[in-house]
Structure formats: C-alpha cells, structure tokens
C-alpha cells in the first residue's frame, strides 16, 4: 500500500520543509520559517479552543512520564500499535461501507524523522478521528473503573489489555516530546481537525487544520522532541526502532530516507517544468569534466516490516523454504539454515502460537552461562499481537538458550508497561510447554537418520545375477549418510547434559538424547545412546558401566577396562568433565543405575555366585599376610585394602569409594582449586587399594611377608620388601589416573630398588676425571675422526654438527 502522491508531498513538506516537483522528488532546501517556529516559544493558533484534561488524565500523564515506562524507546511501539489498530478499524468498516476507502485506498503507516526541526511524524491511513473523538479519546478517559485502574498502574498490577481503553499508549509519547500535535481526518467528516498539547500542561487545544484536508483519511501525530530525546530524530535510529518492535505487523510501515546527491545544474534558459529525466546523468554529462553540479535532496520510503509473521498461519500451509527463510530473519543470519524446527499452536489456560528453531552451530552468544550468569544471550522473542514485548525475558531455561524462535499471544497477562512479565502461573505454563516442544523437536531430529535408513531398507531393490545370486554393491555406492544429529550433538551436547543436571522434571527425556562413545564402537566418530546400551546388555547385567577420563586415548589405555573387554561387557566412555558430574544428579536411566568402573565394589555377576563367593574366601585367607602388610605400611594414604579380581593384567589398582570422587573428578576439582583456592583436603578422594591375587608380583610379595608358622607376627618385612610394596602402590596410582603425592619419596624408593637390582654397594658419585694435556689432544683427534665418518654418511650438502632439516 502507498499514499496518494499529493498526500506524500504535503506530509513531507510539513515534516521536513522540502519543496517537491511534480514527480515527488525533493529539490529545495529545508524551509527556514519552519525551523524558526519550532525553536522559538510556541503559541497556539487564535482559532483554537482550549479544553482542560480531566483530573484522572493529569494523574495518568504524571504516572506515564515519571514512573510507568522504564525505556523511552517504547513510545514508537505504542504509537505504531495505535496506528495499526486504526487501520484495522478502517478495513473492518470498509466491508460494510466501501466508500470509506475512497479518499485513500492505501492502508499503511509512514514515519518521518527531521533532525533539523527536531520532530518525528507518524502518519497512518486509519479510520481517523472527529472533533468529538479527539476530545473524548485524547482528553477524557472512560469513567468506569478509571480510578481503580490508575491505582493498579501505581502498584504495577494493571492489565495491559486496558491500555487502549484508557489511552496509556498514546500518552507514552510525552516521554520524549515537549509538545504533541495530532491532525486527524475521519472518513465521513468533511473537516480535518488538530489536537495539541504541551508536556506538563493541564489543558489541550483543538482547532480546524489550516492546511485543509491534507490526509484524506487517517491521523498524523507530530512529536516536538525534548532536548534529551533529539537522538530519536535520526533516520537510522527511528528505522531501527520501528523494525525492532514492529517488523511483523500486518500493515506496511515506511520510514522516510533523505539523501543528498549531485546532479548537473539545469540551464535556466531552457525553461519548462522539471521531470524525472532531469536527474538522469547522460554520457554527454560524463564527458563534460567542467560541468557545474548542484546538491539535490531526495526522499524515499523504506519498508521496515517486510517480514511476514508466518507463525500465525496454519503449519500445513507453510513450506519448508518459508520456514528456512524465516529462521534467517529470526537469527539475523542470511546464510545459516536450521537443523530442525517445530511450529505449534498451544491452547488451554493461555493461547499462544510459536515457532522454535534448532540452530546449526553454536555461536559465541549461545555459550552456556557461567555461575555469574555471563555467556549466553537469550534468543527467544515474545510478541503480543505481533508487537515485540521483550527479547530479554528467558522463556526457556539457560541450558536451552541456544534455541531461536518467537512466541506470540493475544491474551498474555503483562504489566501495564509491557516491559515486565508477571511471574504467575500462566507464564510458568508457557515455559513448561516450550521446553516440552523443544525436547519433542530434538527427539524427532535424533530419530531422523534411523527412520530414513528404515525407509531405504524397505524400498531398496536387490539386484540378482543370472544365477539368482545377490550382486554386492561397490563400496562407492554404499556411501553411508552423515549422522546430522551426531554432528549437531558434538557442539550442543554439553548444553543438554547441563539440562540433565538442572531440569529434574525433564531429566529422563534429556537422557534419551545423550550420546557417548563406547568400548564396543571402534570408530571414534560413532556413538551410543543410553537406550542402545540397554538394548545390548546381557541379561545378568544390572548396571550401566562407564569409565571417566580426560580423553578417549587415555580412557582406552586404562587398566580398569581390561577385565570388561575380556568379558565383552560394554563400557561407556565419559570423556567430558561434565559427564561424571551428571551421574551425581541422574543416578539411573530407565531404572538402571550408573556405575563407574573406577569405583570400589564393582561386581560382575556373569559367573556362578556360589563359586565366586567360595573363591573370594580362599583368596582372602591365602593373602591375609600381604593384606595386613599393605594396611600397615600404607596407613592413612588409603581408606582400605581388598582383594580384587577386576585388575586385569595389573598387580593392583586404586579405586574410589562408591560415594567418593574418582581420579578423573579429583583432577577436575584440583584444576578448579587453583583458581578458587579450594583447600586440598576438600578434593582428596577416599582411595581403595585393590590388589590382584593372580599377579606374580602379589604372589611373590605375599610369600616374602608371610611369617613362619611358629611366629606370633602377622607378617615380616624389611626395607627392600617395603620399597617393593610402595612401587606396586605407586604404579597403581599412575595406572588409575591419580597423581603421586610425594615425588621425592618415589624417587628415593626407585633409586634403592635400582641399587639393589644392580648389586651396588652405595650410590655415592665418583670423583671427577682430571685429564692430562696429551689425553686432551688424543680426544680431539678422535672427535674429528668420528665427525668425518658422520659427514660421509650424510647426503650431499649436509654437514655434521649443524642443525639440518632433512626433506625426503
């Protein structure tokens, strides 16, 4: 929709003082008299009639200006919303009376910002107002419930649905304006009237517009800005605000754009009227280097709400390409395409429509918040009747902050200032519904590949040779599709794991979305879901086994893993610090508990229980001496010592108590302690020393410490035996992922063991050699000969003794 040309010219002349030719192109300078009028003390026209505001209106103005709105930007949102309502009314009435649109067929809003005159003009082609409408709508508020409403405004409990009834939206213009002039022409009225009032006055003035009927139909609101609000007169600023709050409104919103260009000076002798060709630059003009040029100011209209609110349409009527295009609007990224989306209409206690998108990658703004609330920026926008209310309110929990989308409700209960949502039951219902819909979208996305593979298997045609045998396809033809969900999960998986920790209500749903690497998956790019793990468990297995570590390479080398590999028992690899922390909150999945294989007390019940029990009793009795020996020398370094059959090929391992920290968690806590000064005792785990009764070192050590039958001692030992025991312990510490507590003692024991093995009497250093002069000369000659031999073995061009880069 567009204005008639005459209306456009009249509007622009009044707002910016430009002189237009017959084609609507500005040609002249800004009029000086307009500047003088707005910068000097203004007086109302003599023919105007003064009306006093009602007491409640004066009170309303005071509340609006001083306490109701916290953000001045919203004045434009409120005025545009009023204009849209007026246009809706005109369109509705034109159904019964088409003549209403005769004066002006266009249904749109146009905004002009004039930094020179310090004004902003908003013009709509709505139904317009009569003189009585101006008095009653802008100067008098409805009597029914007014005082009660104003009291509610004061205490912040007023309902936003009453704003239009009491004119609060219009009064927000006084946040930025010293004076407001409203010109309006009702569709069936022959006269165009003007309403004017100054900020702080208790009265307003109404008079016939001396310009005559310049609008045809509609309303023109001119704001004469305060000194501290002149910044809003910038065309770029006003365009950004109009687009920000109103980009999805139904009727077109245009903002004036003024530019100055250079054109050749027209020959005055030529005479005649100016036409469009006057601004065309010909080749002849380009050839004339000395052609005299002049500055010409032109004005164009830019549409700021060209994006359509596709969420109001039925989802079956919206194509995939439209959804993808709308994502680029919501995400403000013209190159990205969403991985998935969900479009729904919620009905119940509150009705709202929404589109939620799954972004393809994790941006810097989408990082998970830290403990100080820094990092993640909310990506959801809340609309009421397609007018933006907030893009800062967290409609989704922080772990889903990467989700982009819109929520629009016609009956959302807001505070009257539309800037603060009431934290009531309805808002909690919206949040809960949105979370469920996001998880539903993620579930479908994670199952997409499986469904596609199933469909392909059902439709795949098998090729047979002449003898009826199946022809095997070449490897190039059997190209496996990329798992899009796995690729997405690699970036966003940490956020979902945070959700498992934070969102107990949706914990089970989130656990189903997690993916882990596994001991039964050779390819590091493949993963297992928890449900796939359960589906592959043997009948006797009652727990979900996992192994935490710094990275996959270190996890695969863990001594804890060997027994499980030998028994073909699947173990999930927890290679992210948050993985193990997650199990402290989610202790089970589908009724099956999580169990770290680095914790003490892990029992594999794949054998006969009676046999296992008898075997344990025999081992305990046989290795009682070495057990007591370990307890005596290790002392407080360990919580307890026990015989174990899950050490694999290792002589011993160090595990953690069931409710203690594993070696991996201890390392994580230690790293944090360096930044937060956590005392060491708060992260030291309760360690259990598990020794392998089948290992030769343990068997030999048990023999060495076993006391004679006629002795009263539990065990015997000497320094060598103690050193061997500590070497087994230290090896277990390193194999289990812990750090050695005292490196110097470890070094001393290692030196004593080496001294004993090498049969050295002592470890004293030899005296330094005192070479003679003859020996020096001989050694130099020998060195030269050895360098010559080395040079002969090197490729041509290389010399020994110098650093070289060998390129094959």
Work out the number of other CB atoms within 10 angstroms of the CB of residue 777.
Answer: 10
* 569 and 637 co-located in one domain: no
Task: State the CATH number of the domain containing residue 579.
Answer: 3.40.50.11260
**Residue pair 384/412 in contact by the 8 Å Cβ criterion:** yes
* pLDDT reading at 358 higher than 80: yes
Please indicate, yes or no, if residue 613 is contained in any of the structural domains.
Answer: yes
Give pLDDT tens digits for 111-138. Answer: 999 999 999 999 999 999 999 988 888 8
Query: 137-141, 409-413, 762-766 — which one is most confidently predicted on average?
Result: 762-766
Higher pLDDT, 806 or 234: 234
* 44 and 163 co-located in one domain: yes
Task: State the CATH number of the domain containing residue 415.
Answer: 3.30.230.80
Give pLDDT tens digits for 426-464. Answer: 678 888 999 999 999 999 999 876 555 555 555 455 455
From 185-194, 244-253, 329-338, 496-505, the region with the lowest mean pLDDT: 329-338
- Domain stops at, among 758, 773, 795: 758
Query: Max alpha carbon distance in the chain (Å)?
Result: 137
* 647 and 750 co-located in one domain: yes
Q: Could you tell me the residue range of the domain that residue 341 belongs to? A: 310-449
Higher pLDDT, 709 or 369: 709
**Residue pair 217/104 in contact by the 8 Å Cβ criterion:** yes
* 42 and 74 co-located in one domain: yes
pLDDT reported for residue 143: 37
Please indicate, yes or no, if residue 795 is contained in any of the structural domains.
Answer: no
* 590 and 615 co-located in one domain: no
Mean pLDDT for 347-372 is: 75
Please indicate, yes or no, if residue 617 is contained in any of the structural domains.
Answer: yes
Please indicate, yes or no, if residue 780 is contained in any of the structural domains.
Answer: no
* 238 and 338 co-located in one domain: no
* 369 and 415 co-located in one domain: yes
Give pLDDT tens digits for 363-401. Answer: 765 554 544 444 445 678 888 888 888 777 788 999 999
Please indicate, yes or no, if residue 477 is contained in any of the structural domains.
Answer: no
- Domain stops at, among 449, 471, 487: 449
Query: CA 655, CA 468: separation in Å to the nearest integer?
Result: 59
* pLDDT reading at 36 higher than 60: no
Calculate the average pLDDT of the chain: 78
CB contact burial 397-415 (16+ within 10 A = b; e otherwise): bbbbbbbbbbbbbeebbbb
- Among 51, 77, 787, which Cα is nearest to 390's? 77
pLDDT reported for residue 23: 33
* 559 and 616 co-located in one domain: no
Number of domains in the chain: 4
Please indicate, yes or no, if residue 317 is contained in any of the structural domains.
Answer: yes
Task: State the CATH number of the domain containing residue 184.
Answer: 3.30.565.10
* 614 and 591 co-located in one domain: no
Please indicate, yes or no, if residue 151 is contained in any of the structural domains.
Answer: yes
Residue 548 phi, psi (nearest 5): -85, 150
* 574 and 699 co-located in one domain: no
Please indicate, yes or no, if residue 100 is contained in any of the structural domains.
Answer: yes
Q: In the β-sheet with 340-346, what is the strand arrangement from edge to edge?
A: 340-346, 352-358, 404-409, 380-384, 387-390
Q: How far does Cα 677 stand from its chain's mean position?
A: 31
* 73 and 213 co-located in one domain: yes
* pLDDT reading at 144 higher than 50: no
- Domain stops at, among 552, 571, 596: 596
Query: CA 245, CA 80: separation in Å to the nearest integer?
Result: 9
Task: State the CATH number of the domain containing residue 638.
Answer: 1.20.120.790
* 563 and 614 co-located in one domain: no
* pLDDT reading at 46 higher than 90: no
């Amino acid at each position: 929709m567009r204005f008639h040309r005459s209306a456009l010219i009249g509007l622009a002349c009044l707002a910016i003082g430009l002189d237009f030719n017959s084609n609507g192109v500005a040609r002249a300078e800004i009029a000086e008299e307009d500047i003088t009028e707005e910068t000097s003390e203004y007086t109302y026209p003599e023919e105007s009639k003064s009306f006093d505001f009602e007491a409640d209106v004066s009170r309303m103005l005071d509340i609006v200006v001083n306490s109701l709105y916290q953000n001045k930007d919203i004045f434009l949102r409120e005025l545009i919303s009023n204009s849209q309502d007026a246009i809706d009314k005109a369109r509705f009435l034109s159904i019964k009376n088409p003549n209403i649109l005769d004066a002006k067929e266009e249904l749109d809003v146009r905004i002009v910002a004039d930094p020179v005159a310090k004004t902003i003009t908003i013009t709509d082609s709505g139904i317009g107002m009569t003189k009585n409408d101006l008095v009653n709508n802008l100067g008098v508020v409805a009597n029914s419930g007014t005082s009660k409403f104003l009291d509610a405004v004061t205490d912040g409990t007023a309902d936003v649905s009453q704003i239009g009834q009491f004119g609060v939206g219009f009064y927000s213009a006084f946040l930025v304006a010293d004076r407001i002039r409203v010109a309006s022409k009702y569709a069936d009225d022959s006269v165009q009237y003007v309403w004017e009032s100054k900020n702080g006055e208790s009265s307003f003035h109404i008079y016939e517009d001396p310009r005559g009927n310049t609008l045809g139909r509609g309303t023109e609101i001119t704001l004469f800005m305060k000194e501290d609000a002149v910044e809003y007169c910038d065309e770029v600023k006003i365009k950004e605000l109009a687009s920000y709050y109103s980009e999805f409104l139904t009727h077109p919103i245009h903002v004036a754009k003024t530019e100055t260009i250079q054109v050749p000076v027209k020959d005055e002798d030529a005479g005649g009227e100016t036409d469009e060709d006057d601004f065309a630059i010909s080749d002849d003009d380009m050839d004339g280097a000395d052609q005299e040029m002049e500055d010409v100011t032109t004005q164009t209209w830019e549409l700021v709400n060209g994006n359509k609110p596709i969420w109001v349409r039925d989802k079956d009527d919206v194509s995939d390409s439209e959804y993808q295009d709308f994502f680029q609007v919501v995400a403000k990224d013209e190159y990205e395409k969403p991985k998935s989306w969900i479009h729904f209409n919620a009905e119940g206690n509150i009705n709202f429509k929404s589109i939620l998108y799954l972004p393809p990658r994790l941006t810097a703004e989408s990082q998970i918040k830290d403990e100080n609330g820094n990092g993640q920026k909310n990506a959801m926008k809340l609309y009421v009747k397609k007018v933006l209310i907030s893009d800062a309110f967290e409609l989704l929990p922080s772990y889903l902050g990467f989700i982009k989308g819109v929520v629009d409700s016609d009956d959302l209960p807001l505070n009257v200032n539309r800037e603060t949502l009431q934290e009531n039951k309805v808002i909690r219902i919206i949040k809960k519904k949105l979370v469920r819909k996001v998880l539903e979208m993620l579930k479908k996305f994670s199952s997409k590949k499986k469904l596609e593979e199933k469909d392909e298997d059902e439709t795949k045609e098998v090729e047979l040779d002449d003898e009826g045998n199946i022809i095997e396809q070449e490897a190039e033809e059997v190209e496996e599709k990329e798992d899009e969900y796995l690729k997405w999960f690699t970036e966003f998986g940490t956020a979902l794991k945070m959700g498992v920790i934070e969102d107990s209500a949706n914990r089970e749903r989130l656990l189903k979305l997690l993916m882990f690497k596994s001991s039964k998956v050779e390819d590091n790019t493949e993963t297992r879901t928890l449900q796939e793990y359960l589906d592959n468990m043997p009948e006797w297995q009652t727990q979900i086994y996992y192994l935490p570590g710094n990275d996959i390479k270190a996890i695969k080398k863990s001594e804890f893993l060997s027994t499980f590999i030998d028994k073909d028992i699947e173990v999930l690899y927890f290679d992210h610090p948050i993985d193990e922390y997650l199990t402290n909150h989610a202790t089970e999945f589908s009724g099956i508990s999580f169990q770290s294989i680095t914790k003490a007390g892990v029992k594999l019940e794949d054998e006969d229980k009676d046999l296992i029990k008898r075997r344990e009793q025999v081992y305990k009795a046989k290795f009682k001496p070495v057990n007591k020996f370990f307890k005596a020398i290790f002392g407080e370094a360990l919580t307890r010592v026990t015989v174990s059959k899950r050490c694999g090929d290792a002589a011993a391992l160090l595990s953690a108590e069931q409710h203690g920290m594993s070696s991996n968690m201890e390392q994580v806590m230690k790293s944090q302690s360096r930044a937060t000064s956590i005392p060491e005792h708060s992260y030291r785990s309760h360690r259990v020393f598990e020794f392998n009764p089948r290992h030769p070192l343990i068997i030999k050590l048990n023999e060495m410490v076993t006391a004679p039958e006629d002795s009263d001692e539990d065990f015997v030992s000497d320094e060598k035996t103690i050193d061997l025991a500590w070497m087994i312990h230290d090896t277990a510490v390193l194999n289990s992922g812990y750090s050695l507590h005292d490196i110097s003692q470890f070094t001393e024991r290692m030196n004593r063991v080496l001294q004993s093995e090498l049969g050295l009497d002592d470890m004293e250093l030899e005296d330094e050699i005192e070479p003679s002069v003859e020996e020096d000369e001989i050694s130099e000659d020998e060195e030269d000969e050895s360098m010559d031999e080395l040079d002969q073995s090197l490729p041509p061009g290389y010399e020994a003794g110098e650093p070289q880069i060998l390129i094959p």
